[in-house]
Structure 1
Amino acid sequence: MNTIIPKQAVSQLKKSLDNFKLNDAIELCSNEAQTRKFLIEPFFLMLNYESNNLIPEYNADFGERVSQKIDYAILLNKKETILVEAKKHSTKLTDKEAGQLNGYFGNTKNSKIAVLTNGVEYRFYSDVIEPNIIDSKPFFCFNISNYCESDIESLIRFDKRYINVLNIVKSAQEIVFADSFENAFFKELVAPSKDLLKIIHRNMTFTSKFNEETQGKMINQINSSLLKCMYDKKLQLEAMSNSQGVITTELEIQAYHIIRTLLIQNKKIPKERIGFKDFKSFFNISVDDSTKKVICKLVFSDSKMKITIENNEYLLENIDDLMKYKNELTNRALALVS
């Protein structure tokens, strides 16, 4: 079950981050111990972890090797622990350094999340690919010196009051799966395997022998022009599928024009990149007509009107109430057009 995070909690975290005097804190840090005191501990305090939750020099259950301790362990409850490896603030973090967490991670069976940080950048890892072994890449990164609205909305999920490790790991699994699929698919497009070519050849209406010459011709066909053509055809197919039984109402169009007008008041948001797509039960306003770049979702029925911006859902008394959410809509669009 997903935890509902109040809008005011996100706003409070943003305020705390915005008010944190990062440069002053960095000036006080000449070693790792000072980085912990002036950067790392205040960061987790902003996420509502107290000193009894953040345990330094935590013994990660190495049996006789008790001298090997993790820099911090965040004790969520009796069953769940987050491990934190700390570096000096000037250290440039790399994913290779996350490998240092593997020993601790494998020996602390109640840990599913590990954090590598230098007090400025925070990299969150899990063991999605192989149990008890840190993934090679983080599923979420947060930089306290450079963040946007969507970063804060992701970070709030780690707040002590709302954290749900199971849900976070599930989200990490989705991220890793999507990234893995995209990489594998791209690899096939760049250097198509014989197996892929054979499947395509089998489905072609043009009859020919599947030999080296045919394979060469097929490989030459797989280029950016072909992919653009396939993309356009896929969009048309989705539009036809989604439009069956869909009636775009005058109120939805009116809402679209209000929101679009609010957005393009910001010169960084190109008007030609803002569009909409109507579905049977909702109405999306997005960037580049992409389902991955949804600015907001509208649900208008006879009984209620509702707008959802990322994970925040608001009821509207009338269409003009959309004006109240100009800042949220703008911040969301800016994050997507960049």
Structure 2
Amino acid sequence: MAKRAISAQAVAQTEEATKNAIVMPFLRVLGFDVFDPTQIIPEYVADVGLKKGEKIDYACKIGDRIEYLVEAKSVSTNLRDAQFSQLFRYFHTCDANIGILTNGLHIWFFTDLEAPNKMDATPFFKFDLLSYDDNDLKELEKFHKSNFRIENIQAAASSLKYLRGAMSFIEGQWASPDEEFVRLVARGFYDGKLTGAVVEGLKPIVRRAFDDLFRQRARHKIDVAFDGGADDAIPAVDENKVDTTPDELQGFMIVRAIAAEVAPVSRITMRDAQSYCAIMFDDNNRKPIARLHFNGKSKFVTVFGADKEGVRHEIGRVEDIFGLGGPIRSVISNYLSGQ
């Protein structure tokens, strides 16, 4: 599905093309027969107040009830800027449980956590076809037609809403801790009086504590990849004696840490080259896992699929490779199953 989305991205610039090339296949992934009018109703019409004859792109039925309403935008549309007032109005009129807004590459899921039968202004779950992990797939599975249980989805939606809020708060405090937060943390280790001057002096310490804690946790996860730090954990690079940079080595260690969940890390090997650093399974160039492209102005990682086709992922920092855990584990599992 992701491969189809990437291929269609360059040509499916209209809403209709996006629907045919990406959205309909996505609905099939969710278990719907897109050609069965008892399951999928395209161009669904319902009169909403004074607005007559408005259409929503798809209404998805499970049993005899419309559960999902889908509004599609062109693949070039940024969903943050998209207008989707029809989805809000139809959500209330049709008593649907889930509203879906998509441009084919990004799929946003809405429900009514704030007020009954009124769609929330912000999505409780976002799925990105170009960048997802195992947790995202587990959440997406809840929306499959055969798995649909509205009570499970609503419980997950509530949890995801608060998780998103907690992450946003922590991220903000990490970047710039406010006085109240610093006082809360300081009470755990500072015995003196927390005057304004003391709190101001502790702010950079609290911010540094966030950074150091993250590094320690990341380092612990990376260390798993080395089976306790064996001397032969890092294989030699190829005979060209290309200089392997610290970023490439760190990237390789992160891929090993991810791979450790599905395979012995000794089977994950590296060969450096002039233009990229290759990571392979069993030191076999016919079993590529990823390529680290860190020598240019921007960093990106190519992760290979079962068809040996590579998918490019732009990253800002080497640590962002942790976000590619799903596709990395998937290609390794394919090699294991083919033994």
Partner of 1:259 in structure 2? Answer: 264
Partner of 1:283 in structure 2? Answer: none
Partner of 1:185 in structure 2? Answer: 170
Residue type of the partner of 2:68? I
Secondary structure of 2:145's partner?
coil
What do residues 195-241 of structure 1 show as CA deviations (whole Å, max 9, x unaligned)?
Answer: 33333454445323x332122212232232x2355568999xxxxxx
1:227 to 189, 210, 218: 210
Secondary structure of 1:84's partner?
strand
d(CA) in 2 for partners of 1:25, 1:192: 40
d(CA) in 2 for partners of 1:34, 1:293: 28
Residue type of the partner of 1:195? E
Partner of 2:101 in structure 1? Answer: 116
d(CA) in 1 for partners of 2:335, 2:261: 12
* Aligned residue pair count: 242
Give yes or no for contact 1:128–1:135 (8 Å, CA) kept in 2: no
Structure 1 gap ranges (5+) = 1-13, 236-254, 271-287, 296-308, 311-324, 332-338
Partner of 1:126 in structure 2? Answer: 110
Offset of residue 21 of structure 1: 9.4
Question: Percent of counterpart pairs with the same letter?
Answer: 17
What do residues 296-318 of structure 1 show as CA deviations (whole Å, max 9, x unaligned)?
Answer: xxxxxxxxxxxxx99xxxxxxxx
Secondary structure of 2:97's partner?
strand
Partner of 1:327 in structure 2? Answer: 333
1:214 to 173, 182, 198: 198
TM-score relative to the length of structure 1? 0.55
Summarize the alignment of residues 1-338 of structure 1 with structure 2, pairs less than 5 Å apart: 23=7, 31-50=14-33, 51-52=36-37, 53-60=39-46, 62-89=48-75, 91-97=76-82, 99-100=84-85, 101-109=87-95, 111-118=96-103, 120-127=104-111, 130-131=114-115, 132-137=118-123, 139-143=125-129, 146=130, 150=134, 155-208=140-193, 210-224=194-208, 226-230=209-213, 259-264=264-269, 265-266=280-281, 268=290, 326-327=332-333
What do residues 66-117 of structure 1 show as CA deviations (whole Å, max 9, x unaligned)?
Answer: 322312111113345101112234x3232342642222223332x2322223
TM-score relative to the length of structure 2? 0.55
Q: 1:67 to 1:189 in 2, by over 3 A?
A: same
Secondary structure of 2:200's partner?
helix
Give yes or no for contact 2:263–2:332 (8 Å, CA) kept in 1: no
Q: 1:219 to 1:168 in 2, by over 3 A?
A: same
Secondary structure of 1:261's partner?
helix
Partner of 2:302 in structure 1? Answer: none
Two-structure CA RMSD over aligned residues (Å): 4.4
